[in-house]
């Protein structure tokens, strides 16, 4: 589980997103932003090797950027002594990024006669930076509180990335991770009905998927009853309970409606004229339409309760989530002349009664909107952990 939460700190890759659309390299340099002026100038030379403005800016900005970063490296022992080697690596990585960018452009290479690289300096600092992060992690691990454990985990992670397998850092990562975890005793209360047990299990399977996703994004572990025996009651920070508070499946309502329908100007026949020709005869046609609508209503609500367990029990969230599903079917019949009916009414009369879907499926359907509400609430609640 620890691997799912790791956001790797790539110490050898320093990439800064830049927006150059409105800012020229010359303006960056004039503002003292020498590093970005170099990067922007090289990019312009890559797309247009004959860009004299970019070439001139690069020639001026390069030594200024190098000197600026070297000055920052020299001053780190005064500015931030605890993490001076870590920060020196960041500055050296910027210098190496400049070197790499220049090497990517023949026009830039011609402009900068001898671009400098600092990979050896970075390699020499890696163990020192790893020790800084490792020591900071140890210091925080000795302090009580989940937030200290979370910060310690981050420090050990950085130490591991500077020097893989540094000292016992992997063991410390596991320890701090376990200490940083928010442990939540989780109960998904089964429904008190064998008929709907499997349908409820379908819903709970989706809930478990959401909880697994939250675990993958946060330092949280949801512990179910079958796994809880390896913990003491005092190990749990919270208790989460989800249960079907109430539900009704299969409330049937059938509506019947009778309409008398007339339609004028309908051709009802022909008559023979004296001259031997035929003429259409129009009149009124009538029909009695009986339409039926059967509705089967299922619904209920689920209760979500989250309580803090340590240092004392306290309710943190209690909320009901309602859901409803209405299955319906419409059909009809008529007496009289079907020409009085509209096409939609004729189509209605072509249907016959059909049986509703099984109750178990209705149970699943009414829980679908509940799951959406519940999932959103759980994500929002645990977003700050």
What DSSP string runs through 227-294?
A: GGGGS-GGG-SEEEEEEEEEEEEEEEEEEEEEEEEEEEEEEEEEEE-TTS-EEEEEEEEEEEEEEEEE
Q: Mean pLDDT throughout 290-303?
A: 95
User: Per residue in 167-194, pLDDT tens?
Assistant: 999 999 999 999 999 999 999 999 988 9
Arithmetic mean of pLDDT, 24-32 = 89
- Please, what is the angle between helix 84-103 and helix 52-79, to 10°? 170
Measured between alpha carbons, how far is 281 from 266 in angstroms, rounded to an integer? Answer: 8
pLDDT of amino acid 115: 92
What one-character DSSP code corresponds to residue 1? -
In the predicted structure, residue 362 carries a pLDDT above the cut 80: yes
% the chain with pLDDT above 90: 79
Count of Cβ atoms closer than 10 Å to residue 205 Cβ: 10
Angle of helix 359-382 relative to helix 197-217, nearest 10 degrees, comes to 20
Coil, strand or helix at 65? helix
> In angstroms, how far is CA 322 from the centroid of its own chain?
24
- At 1, the pLDDT band (50, 70, 90 cuts) reads low
Q: Which residues contact 319 (CB under 8 A, 6 or more apart)?
A: 303, 304, 377
Please, which pLDDT band fits residue 87 given cuts at 50, 70 and 90?
very high
**Nearest-angstrom CA–CA distance, 67 and 45:** 22
Using the structure block, give the residue that is written with the tokens 């950027």: 65
Of 285, 261, 281, residue with least CA distance to 272: 281
Q: Outline where the chain has alpha helix (H).
A: 2-5, 25-30, 34-47, 52-79, 84-103, 106-111, 119-141, 146-162, 169-180, 197-217, 343-349, 359-382
Lowest mean pLDDT among 3-7, 280-284, 324-328, 377-381: 3-7
Confidence of residue 233 (pLDDT cuts 50, 70, 90): confident
């Amino acid at each position: 589980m620890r691997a799912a939460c790791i956001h790797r700190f790539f110490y050898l890759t320093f990439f800064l997103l830049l927006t150059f659309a409105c800012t020229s390299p010359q303006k960056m340099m004039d503002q003292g932003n020498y590093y970005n002026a170099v990067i922007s100038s090289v990019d312009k030379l890559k797309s247009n090797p004959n860009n004299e403005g970019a070439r001139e800016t690069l020639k001026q900005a390069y030594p200024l950027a190098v000197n600026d970063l070297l000055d920052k490296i020299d001053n780190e022992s005064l500015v931030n002594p605890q993490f001076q080697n870590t920060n020196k690596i960041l500055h050296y990585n910027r210098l190496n990024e400049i070197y790499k960018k220049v090497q990517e452009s023949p026009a830039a290479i011609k402009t900068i006669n001898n671009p400098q690289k600092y990979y050896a300096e970075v390699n020499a600092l890696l163990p020192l930076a790893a020790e800084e992060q490792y020591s900071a992690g140890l210091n925080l691990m000795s302090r009580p509180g989940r937030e200290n454990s979370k910060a310690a985990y981050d420090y050990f992670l950085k130490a591991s990335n500077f020097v893989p397998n540094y000292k016992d850092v992997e063991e410390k990562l596991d320890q701090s991770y376990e200490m940083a975890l928010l442990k939540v005793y989780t109960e998904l209360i089964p429904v008190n009905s064998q008929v709907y047990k499997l349908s409820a299990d379908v819903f709970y399977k989706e809930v478990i998927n959401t909880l697994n996703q939250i675990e993958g994004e946060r330092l949280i572990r949801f512990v179910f009853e079958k796994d809880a025996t390896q913990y003491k009651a005092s190990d749990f920070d919270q208790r989460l309970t989800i249960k079907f508070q109430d539900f009704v499946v299969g409330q049937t309502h059938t509506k019947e409606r009778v309409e008398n329908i007339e339609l004028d100007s309908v051709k009802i026949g022909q008559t023979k004229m004296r001259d031997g020709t035929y003429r259409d005869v129009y009149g009124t046609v009538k029909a009695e339409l009986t339409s039926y609508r059967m509705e089967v209503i299922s619904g209920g609500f689920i209760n979500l309760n989250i309580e803090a367990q340590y240092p004392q029990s306290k309710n943190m969230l209690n909320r009901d989530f309602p859901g409803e599903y209405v299955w319906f079917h419409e059909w009809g019949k008529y007496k009289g002349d079907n020409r009085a009916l509209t096409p939609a009414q004729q189509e209605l009369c072509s249907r016959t009664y059909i049986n509703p879907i099984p109750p178990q499926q209705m149970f699943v359907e009414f829980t679908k909107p509940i799951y959406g509400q519940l999932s959103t609430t759980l994500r929002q609640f645990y977003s700050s952990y």
